[in-house]
A and B are shown apart, each in its own frame.
Chain A
Amino acid sequence: MTNQSYRQSSPQLEGPSAVGYLAIVLAWAVPGLGHLIVGERNRGLLFAFTIHALFGLGLILGGIKAINPPDQPIWTYTQYLAGWPMLISGRVERSWMGQTPQEPSRFNDLIREYASNRPSATDNSEVEDRKAYARKMFSTYPILTYHPKIQDIGSVYCGIAGMLNLLVMFDVLLRVTGTERETAADRRRTPVEVAK
Chain B
Amino acid sequence: MMPISTLAYTIFFDAITSLFPNMDEYWLLLVIPLVVAITLVYKGTRMKELRTLPRDATIMSVQILVLMVFAAAALGGLYWIAVRVL
Contact = CB atoms under 8 A, between A and B. Distances in A.
Interface of A: 42-43, 46-47, 50-51, 53-54, 56-57, 59-66, 92, 135, 138-143, 145, 147, 149-151, 153-154, 156-157, 160-161, 164, 167-168, 170-171, 181
Q: By CB atoms of chain B within 10 A, which of A153, A157, A160 has the most?
A: A153
A95 B69 CA distance: 41
Nearest to A89: B12
B15 A157 contact: no
Interface string B30-47: 100110011011101110
Interface in B49-80: 50, 53
Nearest to B23: A150
Contacts of B46: 181
Q: By CB atoms of chain B within 10 A, which of A138, A145, A147 has the most?
A: A147
| Secondary structure dominating the interface of A | helix
Interface of B: 3-5, 7-18, 23-24, 27, 30, 33-34, 37-38, 40-42, 44-46, 50, 53
A156 to B, nearest CB: 7
Contacts of B23: 150
A145 B15 contact: yes
Contacts of A59: 12
Contact of A167 (B3, B12, B24, B41): B41
B4 A160 contact: no
Contact of B17 (A140, A150, A161): A150
20 contacts: A46-B50, A46-B53, A50-B40, A53-B37, A54-B34, A56-B12, A59-B12, A61-B16, A62-B15, A65-B15, A66-B15, A92-B13, A139-B7, A150-B16, A150-B27, A153-B27, A153-B30, A157-B30, A167-B42, A170-B45
B41 A157 contact: no
Contacts of B7: 139
Nearest first, the 8 closest Cβ-Cβ pairs linking A and B are: A142-B18, A142-B14, A63-B15, A147-B17, A171-B45, A139-B5, A164-B41, A54-B37
A157 B36 CA distance: 12
B8 A154 contact: no
Contact of B41 (A42, A47, A142, A143): A47
A63 B40 contact: no
